[in-house]
Amino acid sequence: MYYPRLRDLREDADKTQKEIAALLGIDQRVYSNYETGKREIPSHMLIVLADYYHTSVDYILGRK
């Protein structure tokens, strides 16, 4: 699954992939794979990201 909104949210917050990866406790390369859809994002990390960006998991998943 591709998550185009992740990059938009991150850039709107003026954050780097490295900063968001640190928030999630993962390597920047793993986070990059999430943004590009090369790797599925675990649900618990989607929740952390939604809370961090003050949005919903549905929005991140492109359901809204």
**At residue 64, does pLDDT exceed 80?**
no
Q: Tell me what pLDDT residue 2 has.
A: 78
Contact 34, 6 (CB under 8 A): yes
What pLDDT is stored for residue 5 in this prediction?
Answer: 94
**How does pLDDT run across 4-59, given as a tens digit for each residue?**
899 999 999 999 999 999 999 999 999 999 999 999 999 999 999 999 999 999 99
Model pTM above 0.85 = yes
Whole-number pLDDT of residue 4: 83
Q: Which are the contacts of 52, defined by CB distance < 8 A and separation ≥ 6? A: 20, 23
